[in-house]
Structure 1
């Protein structure tokens, strides 16, 4: 039913969502460029960077390791999507960026598999903010690349 490569690894995710923005005129159509820009420091608005800093400060309280962000820079292209795969002790995440040139759209699909109590405790507040964060980052990336 849904064609994103995120579902190849996580066919029955505990959480998933899709965010779509218009492809700006003249913007690159390479999904790798979209993924690496979106997950670069300049791809996050200041309030998102502040939320990430808060996450870094709080996750050790749950026994979850801090992230250096490098995992989100490991991008591989699968078909017409750029895929970021992050596996950790508390959850597995797949994020795919796709550019639909025919429809002039860019989409970001996320799938998450939670692992145990720690994963559920960690992701409960993350799930609330996930949509606004991804949407803001996708819009900012569109402005940067447009």
Structure 2
């Protein structure tokens, strides 16, 4: 029996995370297999569901109250692509966030792996509510990106 595999570049960036999750979705027919295109579609502010955009606006209004910096437009920019994964890294004063978007063409799956390392009380306070909604937010963003990329593939 072979050893189980559970690997992602997100765990190379943050080997011992305080928080981690993995969201997987089937690939629609004909969509791109480029993980960077998937990452861009998932984290595109214009492509995010309205309620997710509203949550980000609320985040931006509240974080200064605990001394956490506001987000920047390039926070979710792909830092590098290695093999099947596009990696986004966002080190900050309150936490270190990493997300790896992987595409598995053989299994016809797209996977979003998130790892987070918290820094101090601000990181713990900030992330307490975030960890509750994070899986739902990522599932929603991935579902939306899947529909967008599927529409683009059909239009070609």
Do both share a fold (TM > 0.5)? yes
CA RMSD of aligned residues (A): 0.9
| 1:84 corresponds to | 88
Indicate the residue corresponding to 1:145 in structure 2: 149
In the alignment, structure 1 residue 119 sits paired with structure 2 residue 119: no
In 1, Cα distance between equivalents of 2:104 and 2:91 = 27
User: In the alignment, is residue 56 of structure 1 matched against residue 60 of structure 2?
Assistant: yes
Residues 98, 108 of structure 1: 8 Å contact kept: yes
CA offsets per residue over residues 89-132 of structure 1, 9 Å max, x none?
A: 10001100011111111000000000010100000011011010
Q: How many residues align?
A: 146
Which structure 1 residue ranges, 5 or more long, are not aligned? none
**The 10-residue stretch of structure 1 (36-45 or 67-76) with the greater mean CA deviation from structure 2:** 67-76
Residue 134 (structure 2) aligned to one of 112, 116, 130:
130
- Within 1, Cα distance between the matches of 2:95 and 2:51? 24
Take 1:141 and 1:107, find their aligned partners in 2: how far apart are those partners? Answer: 12
Residues 18 and 108, structure 1, Cα contact 8 Å, conserved in 2: yes
Q: Structure 2 regions of 5+ residues with no counterpart? A: 151-156
Secondary structure, in 3 states, of the residue corresponding to 2:81?
strand
TM-score between the two structures when normalised by the length of structure 2: 0.91
8 Å contact from structure 2 (residues 21, 113) kept in 1: yes
1:42 Cα deviation (Å)?
A: 2.6
Report what 2:48 is aligned to.
44
1:93 lines up with 2:97 in the alignment: yes
The answer (yes or no) to whether the contact 1:40–1:73 under 8 Å persists in 2 is no
Larger radius of gyration between Structure 1 and Structure 2: 2
Measure, in 2, the Cα distance between the counterparts of 1:82 and 1:95: 8
